[in-house]
Amino acid sequence: MPPRNTTEKHRASTPLELMFDLVAVIAIAAAAAELHHAVAHAHYAEGISKFVLAFFAIWWSWMNFSWFASAYDNDDVLFRLLTMLVMAGSLTMAAGIKPFFQGGQLMLIVIGFVIMRIGMVLFWLRAARHHPELKRTTLTYAGGIFLVQLYWVGLLLQQPLSATWLLTLFALGAVLELAVPALAERRGITPWHRHHMIERYGLLNIIVLGETLLASSIAISNLTTDQAPTLALLQIPLLAMVLLFCLWWLYFSREEHLKQQTLAMALTWGYGHLIIYAAGAAVGAGIAVNIDLVLGSASLTATAATCAVTLPISAYVLGLWLVRDRFIFSGRGKYLLVLFALLIPLAGFFSGLAAATALLVLCVMLRSSHACCSNGQPKL
């Protein structure tokens, strides 16, 4: 399993990677659905905290495999089998999301996560054997992942814990997980492919935005019920589609992500996408909450339902500024996304979802115009 060429032309996602993404779809959809139900019944703190915990586990397993595959994917039999082992762990974790949200049971989530991480330990040990120039890096990965898994097993054995202790110990475990690549890559940067990683991250972003598509479909299906559709229900699918297109447009702009192939940039860009992905999935959950409110099956105020959409949008926009725009723009336009990240929740709070959507459309227009001017092109 030799290292891949970092300058390989036309490097694209493999069929195996795309199938891995399908497993992530199942897990993300399960977490978003549980967030929707929790927020719809006004269980804000519990729902959001559990969503963050579950989503981190989903994203972290996907991210670790994607960066490894970018550097070492040789698509042989052993690579495929180990990938399927990681996928089996992801499916196990997805099955544990509902019991975790509804009863606080961590068993399946931790077991699934450990299965995935065992697969990654074996991957890195194999890389250590076949890429001796980066043996210190690959062995640091393998050893670090193994030690952190002992921590997660220990956390499982301490159940049940209070919510405060669970979140505190989970945060510590997350910090340990994030520290492993940061420490390992300082001993030698793995040969990941820049364009390949940009494509992989873009594909996962499409997956999380698919939650908004699903919510829009639910809203449209409710228009065909025997009950006469109200104006509010008629607005939701339209606003959801406009929001979806705007979020997609902002992410897939003409300016490329990950401008530099350095460790600092890779960590900022790679880790910062957690905000974008979690927020993108939460937007879909928020749209579903607004549908429930119109149909009379939600237990929260109209303002809270609007915030369930506008706050994730704000986080999504701010995440894009964090990982991309602050590195590619200068002058006042550099902080355009930060400004709209502040204005959109305020517009939603005082004027409703339609006003927040209009502001997001304006954000897309102004950013596109600024990008064209920055590149020496005429305004759109």
Provide the residue type at 193 as one letter: H
Q: Which of 256, 135, 243, 251 is nearest to 194 (CA)?
A: 256
State the angle between helix axes of 336-351 and 353-374 in degrees (0 to 180), rounded to the nearest 10: 170
The tens-digit pLDDT sequence of the chain (380 residues) is: 889 988 888 888 999 999 999 888 888 988 998 999 999 998 999 899 999 999 999 999 999 999 999 999 999 999 999 999 999 998 999 899 989 988 888 889 989 999 999 999 999 999 999 999 999 999 999 999 999 999 999 988 888 888 888 889 999 999 999 999 999 999 889 999 999 999 999 999 998 888 777 777 776 776 665 555 667 777 888 898 899 999 999 999 888 888 777 888 899 999 999 999 999 999 999 998 988 888 888 888 999 999 999 999 999 999 999 999 888 887 777 889 999 999 999 999 998 999 999 999 999 998 888 776 665 444 43
Global pTM value? 0.92
Domain boundaries, the chain: 15-185, 194-374
DSSP state string for 338-374: HHHHHHHHHHHHHH-HHHHHHHHHHHHHHHHHHHHHH
The count of residues in the chain is 380
Cis bond upstream, residue 160 (ω within 30): yes
Q: Which of 79, 30, 74 is nearest to 55 (CA)?
A: 30
User: Do the Cβ atoms of 161 and 167 come closer than 8 Å?
Assistant: no
Nearest-angstrom CA–CA distance, 323 and 308? 23
The Cα angle at residue 17 between residues 11 and 20, in degrees rounded to 5: 165
25 burial level (CB within 10 Å; 0-12, 13-18, 19+): middle
Q: Which of 290, 103, 281, 296 is nearest to 205 (CA)?
A: 281
Nearest-angstrom CA–CA distance, 279 and 123? 30
Question: Which structure tokens are listed for 87?
Answer: 């996928």
